[in-house]
C-alpha cells in the first residue's frame, strides 16, 4: 500500500517513517524565512555556494499543501530535516520540497488559527507531530474503518492550518486541517460503532459486538485498565524512555453504585478514566445473571458509541471490554459532576437531546446525569436506558410522547442554568415554547376581529415571557418564533 494519491485523514501509510520528527514547531525554529520580492512562479537563486529555490511565500505554502496531500510521509521527513538543520538535498526536486516544508512550518508557527469545531482523525496509532485532521467526523470514521483504526479527537480551539484557506474548497473535499500535536493533546479515541445497541425496547433483543471487537488495541488496553479495579494496593506504570523515564503511581477508587453497576475512578497515563462494572445484585438484592450483566454493559456501550459516531458530544466516549474470565466492563472518559450550566451549554444539551430523538428516532429515558469533561464540555454519563430506533418506518416525533423535555426540566433542578450575571434561572424547554407559540397563534387567528379575552392574553404573555427568559440566558429563540411573537404582541396591544 503506497502513500501517493491518498488524501484521507487516516495515516497514508501503515508504517511510520524511520526518522520520526520529535521537534515541536512552538519551541523549535526552522531555517526558512520568506523571500522578499520572490515571484509566484519561483526561480533558482545561484548566488550562493549551491542553488536555492526562491518563490513567494503564499505560493510555496499552497504548493506544500498539495505535496502534503500527495505524499505526506516525504513532507514529514523534510519537516524533520528543516527543523534539525540537516543539509539541503542534492536534487532539484528535493530542494523545492525542502523549501515547501520550511514555508509550511513557518506558517504553522506564525499563522495557525483556532479551529471553530472539534477535529477528527482516523488512524491505527495515536497521532503525534504534524498530521492531517478533518472537521468532519464521518471522514475520519471512514478511514478508521479501512484498517480497524480508531477515531481520535482534538477539542475545538486547537490551532492549525485549514487547507481550504490556502487552496480553495474544491480542492479540500475532506475539510482537512494540518495540526501539530503531542500525543497527550489527543482525546481518548472512539471506534465508530464498536458495539451495536439493541433496537427498540424488546427485552429479547440483544446488543451485539462488531466483528473482531475484542481484538482491537483499544479494547485490550481498556481490559488492562478495568483489571486495575481489583488492585487494592495501587499500581504503577512507566512514562518515557531511557534516562528520562519516570515511574507514576495510581489507584482505583470506588465512586458510586446503582441498580445495574458500580463505577470506579481509575488513574491512567492519559488521566483518570471511569470504569463501570456490573453489580452482583439489584437494589432488591436479587442476583443478576452473567448474561444480564453482559447485556447491560454492552447496551450502554452500544448506545454511547453509536451516538458518538453520529457526532453527538453529549454521549460519553468509551469502550466495551471484558477481563479476568469474561467480566464485562465499560471503560469511558472521566468527568466531574456538573454543578451548573451556562445558557449556551443548556441550549447545546437541549439541541442534541431533541435531535437524537427527532432526526434519528432514538428515545431518551432515565434521569440525565450530567458530567463535565476536562475541556469544559458537558456529557450525559448514563445512557444505558436509551432506546435505539426499531427497523422499519420511523414514527413521527411527538413532544407529548417524549421524555426528553421532562428529563431536561428535572435535570435543571439539580444542575441549574445560570444567567450571564451568575444567578440561577428557570429556562423553559423549547418544546414548551413551541406549544405556547402554536396555541397562541391559533387563538390570534380565531379572534382577529374581536377583543382578546383573559386566556388569549395569558397565552400571549406566557409566550413572550418564555422567549425573553431564553434570550436573556443567551439562547437565541425570538427569531425562531418571530411570527408567533409578533402575533402575541399585537394581541396585547389590542387589549
- In this prediction, residue 189 carries a pLDDT of 55
Q: Please list, in sequence order, all residues whose beta carbon lies within 8 angstroms of the beta carbon of residue 211, skipping any fewer than 6 positions away.
A: none
- In this prediction, residue 169 carries a pLDDT of 55
- In this prediction, residue 399 carries a pLDDT of 78
DSSP E strand boundaries for 405-487: 417-418, 424-425
Please classify residue 121 by burial: count the beta carbons closer than 10 Å to its beta carbon, then call 0-12 exposed, 13-18 middle and 19+ buried. Answer: buried
DSSP E strand boundaries for 309-440: 318-323, 327-333, 336-337, 341-342, 370-372, 378-380, 417-418, 424-425
Residue 307, Ramachandran bin (φ over 0: left; ψ between -120 and 50: alpha; else beta): alpha
- In this prediction, residue 21 carries a pLDDT of 42
The span from the CA of 217 to the CA of 125, in Å, is 9
Grid cell for residue 192: 465508530
> What radius of gyration do the chain's Cα atoms show?
28
- In this prediction, residue 490 carries a pLDDT of 83
The span from the CA of 266 to the CA of 273, in Å, is 5
Mean pLDDT, contiguous 10-residue spans, the chain (495 residues): 32 32 48 80 84 86 82 82 82 86 84 87 80 85 69 84 76 77 62 72 79 82 89 74 75 83 87 89 81 89 86 88 90 93 91 89 90 90 88 78 89 91 89 86 75 80 89 86 86 77
Q: How far is CA 143 from the centre of its chain?
A: 16
- In this prediction, residue 374 carries a pLDDT of 86
Closest of 221, 274, 224 to residue 382, by C-alpha: 274
Amino acid at each position: 500500500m503506497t502513500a501517493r494519491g491518498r488524501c484521507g485523514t487516516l495515516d497514508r501509510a501503515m508504517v511510520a517513517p524511520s526518522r520520526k520528527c520529535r521537534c515541536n514547531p512552538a519551541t523549535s525554529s526552522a531555517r526558512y524565512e520568506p523571500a522578499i520580492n520572490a515571484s509566484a512562479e519561483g526561480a533558482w537563486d545561484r548566488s550562493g555556494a549551491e542553488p536555492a529555490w526562491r518563490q513567494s511565500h503564499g505560493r510555496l505554502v499552497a504548493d506544500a499543501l498539495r505535496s502534503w496531500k500527495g505524499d505526506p510521509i516525504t513532507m514529514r521527513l523534510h519537516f524533520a530535516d528543516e527543523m534539525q538543520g540537516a543539509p539541503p538535498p542534492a536534487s532539484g526536486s528535493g530542494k523545492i520540497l525542502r523549501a515547501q516544508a520550511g514555508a509550511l512550518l513557518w506558517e504553522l508557527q506564525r499563522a495557525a488559527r483556532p479551529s471553530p469545531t472539534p477535529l477528527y482523525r482516523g488512524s491505527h496509532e495515536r497521532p503525534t507531530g504534524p498530521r492531517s485532521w478533518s472537521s468532519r467526523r464521518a471522514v475520519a470514521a471512514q478511514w478508521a474503518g479501512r484498517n480497524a483504526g480508531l477515531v481520535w479527537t482534538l477539542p475545538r480551539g486547537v490551532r492549525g492550518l485549514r487547507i481550504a484557506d490556502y487552496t480553495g474548497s474544491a480542492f479540500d473535499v475532506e475539510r482537512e486541517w494540518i495540526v501539530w500535536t503531542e500525543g497527550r493533546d489527543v482525546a481518548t479515541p472512539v471506534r465508530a460503532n464498536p458495539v451495536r445497541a439493541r433496537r427498540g425496547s424488546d427485552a429479547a433483543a440483544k446488543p451485539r459486538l462488531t466483528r473482531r471487537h475484542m481484538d482491537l488495541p483499544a479494547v485490550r488496553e481498556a481490559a488492562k485498565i478495568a483489571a486495575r479495579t481489583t488492585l487494592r494496593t495501587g499500581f504503577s506504570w512507566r512514562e518515557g524512555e531511557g534516562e528520562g523515564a519516570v515511574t507514576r503511581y495510581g489507584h482505583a477508587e470506588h465512586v458510586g453504585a446503582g441498580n445495574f453497576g458500580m463505577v470506579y475512578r481509575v488513574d491512567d497515563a492519559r488521566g483518570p478514566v471511569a470504569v463501570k462494572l456490573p453489580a452482583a445484585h439489584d437494589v432488591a438484592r436479587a442476583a443478576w445473571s452473567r448474561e444480564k450483566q453482559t447485556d447491560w454493559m454492552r447496551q450502554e456501550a452500544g448506545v454511547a458509541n453509536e451516538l458518538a459516531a453520529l457526532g453527538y458530544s453529549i454521549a460519553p466516549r468509551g469502550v466495551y471490554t471484558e477481563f479476568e474470565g469474561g467480566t464485562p466492563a465499560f471503560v469511558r472518559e472521566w468527568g466531574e459532576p456538573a454543578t451548573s450550566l451556562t445558557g449556551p451549554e443548556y441550549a447545546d444539551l437541549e439541541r442534541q437531546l431533541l435531535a437524537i430523538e427527532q432526526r434519528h428516532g432514538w428515545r431518551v429515558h432515565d434521569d440525565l446525569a450530567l458530567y463535565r469533561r476536562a475541556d469544559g464540555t458537558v456529557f450525559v454519563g448514563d445512557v444505558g436506558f436509551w432506546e435505539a430506533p426499531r427497523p422499519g418506518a420511523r414514527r413521527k416525533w411527538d413532544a407529548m410522547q417524549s421524555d426528553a423535555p421532562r428529563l431536561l426540566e428535572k435535570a435543571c433542578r439539580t444542575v441549574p442554568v445560570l444567567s450571564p450575571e451568575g444567578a440561577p434561572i428557570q429556562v423553559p424547554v423549547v418544546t414548551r415554547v413551541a406549544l405556547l407559540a402554536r396555541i397562541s397563534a391559533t387563538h390570534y387567528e380565531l379572534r382577529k376581529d374581536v377583543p382578546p379575552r383573559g386566556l388569549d392574553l395569558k397565552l400571549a404573555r406566557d409566550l413572550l415571557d418564555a422567549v425573553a427568559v431564553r434570550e436573556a440566558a443567551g439562547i437565541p429563540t425570538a427569531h425562531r418564533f418571530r411570527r408567533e411573537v409578533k402575533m402575541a404582541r399585537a394581541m396585547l396591544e389590542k387589549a
